[in-house]
Amino acid sequence: MVQSQSANDIPVITIDGPGGSGKGTVALRVAEHLGWHLLDSGALYRLVAVAAMDRAIAADDGPALGRLAAGLDVDFGVGPDGMVVQIDGQDVTARLRSEAVSAFSSQAAAFPEVRAALVKLQRACRKAPGLVADGRDMGTVIFPDARLKIFLTASAEARAERRHKQLKEKGESVNLSRLFQDIKKRDERDQSRAVSPLVAASDAHLIDSTEMSIDDVVQQVFELLKESNAAY
């Protein structure tokens, strides 16, 4: 008898945590190694921010941001330098990671209208052979039945230093103590919002990457995956 595979049978690994914890890089490495799909859910909130800024929608206008998120015409592609994202046919890739977009996206993400508009889009990424999803609420809200849940943290100081290095490499000069303050503010907003706050799922494995290299974290994720597979 041939058994059909429902979306819920497709394995998911979730990697949640604050900005700068390394979750994006770790998720990419794990997905590449397994040959699974990748969902960078933060990019969706960043897209809402970019589109809102272009349309002069304010960061505190929840209903307007929700409508915008629900009607977003987004296209993800791959270019010579990695992911290419377009909104309404316009390439916005280079703008996604700016500090202004980081701050706006964190404000927009606090509105239930915005979060609700993005749920279906995120769950639709669950495709065979598997999905690695990174964000803030992947293990708690979007994929509560994930096979393996990781909560990746690092001290705010370490995260600010990593971000500072990244921006310097891109030729942007940003003050380190200002970055540290921005990271603390974003953490506080992400952790204290009423809907889908940044919190570890009760069944998540905690990894503190403050003193670890990306290679060490990736290796630990694979060890945990091996253990969780054994339990199936």
Question: Which residue of 69, 92, 109, 207 would you call a contact of ligand C5P, by CB under 6 A?
Answer: 109
C-alpha radius of gyration, the chain, whole number: 17
Distance between CA 139 and CA 110 in Å, rounded?
A: 18
Per the CB < 8 A criterion, the answer to whether 75 and 171 are in contact is no
State which residue, 95 or 136, has the beta carbon closest to ligand C5P: 136
Q: In sequence order, what are the residues at sequence separation of 6 or more whose Cβ sits closer than 8 angstroms to the Cβ of residue 94?
A: none
State which residue, 109 or 148, has the beta carbon closest to ligand C5P: 109
Q: In angstroms, how far apart are the furthest CA atoms of the chain? A: 63
What CA–CA distances, in Å, run from 193 to 27, 111, 122, 170, 219? 25, 9, 20, 32, 32
State which residue, 183 or 229, has the beta carbon closest to ligand C5P: 183
State which residue, 47 or 218, has the beta carbon closest to ligand C5P: 47
Q: C-alpha 97: how far from its chain's center? A: 12
Footprint of ligand C5P on 41-100 (CB under 6 A): 41-42, 45-46
* Stretch 121-150: interaction string toward ligand C5P, x if CB under 6 A: --------------xxx-------------
Footprint of ligand C5P on 8-27 (CB under 6 A): 19
* Stretch 156-195: interaction string toward ligand C5P, x if CB under 6 A: ------------------------------x---x-----
Residue 145's CB is within 10 A of a number of other CB atoms, namely 9
**Under DSSP, is residue 232 helix (H, G, I), strand (E, B) or coil?**
coil
Minimum CB distance to ligand C5P, residue 4 (Å): 29
- Which part of the chain contacts ligand C5P (CB under 6 A), choosing from 25-33, 37-45, 158-166, 167-175? 37-45
**Under DSSP, is residue 110 helix (H, G, I), strand (E, B) or coil?**
coil
End-to-end CA distance of the chain: 22
State which residue, 124 or 229, has the beta carbon closest to ligand C5P: 124
Which residue lies nearest ligand C5P, judged by its C-beta? 42
Per the CB < 8 A criterion, the answer to whether 209 and 152 are in contact is yes
Size of the site for ligand C5P (CB under 6 A): 13
Minimum CB distance to ligand C5P, residue 118 (Å): 8
State which residue, 1 or 217, has the beta carbon closest to ligand C5P: 217
Task: Examine residue 129 and say whether the peptide bond preceding it is cis (omega within 30 degrees of 0).
Answer: yes
Residue numbers of the site for ligand C5P (CB under 6 A)? 19, 41-42, 45-46, 105-106, 109, 135-137, 186, 190
